[in-house]
Structure 1
Amino acid sequence: MLINDMTIEQLLELNEIICERIDYLRAKQDQNVLAQMHIGNQVSFKTDEGRIFGVVIKKNRKTVVVLSEDKRRWKLPPGMLTIVKDI
């Protein structure tokens, strides 16, 4: 069946299935990142202000609290964070 042939009801049902799958994949990704992250890790993340660097100060079940270089606290989903590796 082509998407152009679908009714509104069919499109809404398809949309719900796609959104559930996206939520599942994001949760799985967050769990994987969270398993690799430890308190004290240096991390970075992207905001409208640009790239922010900080240190993990707390891990929750679904979020991570980061203390940025400018002493602000950020509560973020793990999938937004990148562990900074020293070279």
Structure 2
Amino acid sequence: MIDLKKLTKKELLELNQRVVERLKELDAQKTSGFMNDFSVGDKVSFEPPGEDGVIGIVIRKNKKTISVLDDSGHKWNVHPSYLMHQGGENIIDAEWTKID
């Protein structure tokens, strides 16, 4: 265990910076794990605060969020921990039929 009383102000500031960096790394790893559960084209749902549930399609995976396009054309940036899969088929992998 580190005896903080023996550290100088400079050493404490350096330690604090290292702790903050490590916490950011852990958070990024956790977010990355959530991100891996989703692919562009997946049908997903989520519930924004104070609103009804939203269903949409994953259109992009950002660094910390996933961009979702809903049926009305509104784009949402949502943390992947709030998303739930809807249906099993990815729209990109679906069979497409040309309509004349």
Give the TM-score normalised by the residue count of structure 2.
0.56
The amino acid of 2:77's aligned partner reads: K
Deviations 1:31-64 (A, max 9, x none): 11111113334243665x5896443422324131
The amino acid of 2:42's aligned partner reads: G
Alignment of 1:22-61 (within 5 A): 22-38=23-39, 39-44=41-46, 49=50, 53-61=54-62
8 A Cα contact 1:44 1:84, kept in partner: no
Alpha-carbon RMSD across the aligned residues, in angstroms, is: 3.1
Question: How many residues are treated as equivalent by the alignment?
Answer: 83
After TM superposition, give the deviation of residue 74 of structure 1 in Å: 2.3
* Aligned pair partner of 1:75 in 38, 58, 77: 77
Q: In structure 2, do the counterparts of structure 1 residues 42 and 24 end up closer, same or farther at CA, with 3 Å as the change threshold?
A: same
8 A Cα contact 2:45 2:54, kept in partner: yes
Q: Alignment identity in percent?
A: 19
Give the Cα–Cα distance (whole angstroms) in 1 for the partners of residues 14 and 34 of structure 2. Answer: 31
8 A Cα contact 1:42 1:83, kept in partner: yes
| Paired residue secondary structure (2:36) | helix
* Aligned pair partner of 2:67 in 61, 65, 68: 65
- Name the structure with the higher helix share: 1
| Paired residue secondary structure (2:11) | helix
Alignment correspondent of 2:97:
none
After TM superposition, give the deviation of residue 83 of structure 1 in Å: 2.3
